[in-house]
Copies of this chain bind each other. A is one copy, B any other.
């Protein structure tokens, strides 16, 4: 499959290109549309397809590598890694998510969305993961 086709950028969005790339790859991985072992499109391929500078793509890839989402397979490209075993205590992981959730709460309040509406919106996005339980999807 050509994962390059799953990625797009909007140069006018205000969000830096390299960050758009990162966010999309992260999201693709979280939603399992990119699976461990697969390769990201090559820097040059993606750069040409999106009409951006290769170094911009490279920057995005490097940061994904730094964050442990992909590894560099020399001469081959960037390979998706399986989710890390997570050595961090649960509480600390929760803390890490909290600022983002606060932002969600403030924004939801401003948009006058009810708790239920937010939950209903978030649930499908979280649906696929829960990899601890071997139970499974539909």
Contact = CB atoms under 8 A, between A and B. Distances in A.
A93 B125 CA distance: 17
Rank and list the top 9 A-B pairs by shortest CB-CB distance, nearest first: A30-B109, A105-B125, A115-B126, A26-B106, A30-B106, A93-B111, A86-B112, A114-B130, A109-B129
A25 to B, nearest CB: 9
Interface string A66-79: 01010000000000
Contacts of A119: 119, 122-123, 126
Interface in A74-105: 83-84, 86, 88, 90, 93-94, 96-98, 100-105
B127 A113 contact: no
Contacts of A12: none
Interface of A: 23, 26-27, 29-31, 67, 69, 83-84, 86, 88, 90, 93-94, 96-98, 100-115, 117-119, 121-123, 125-127, 129-133
A83 to B, nearest CB: 6
A135 to B, nearest CB: 11
Nearest to A127: B115
A110 B83 contact: yes
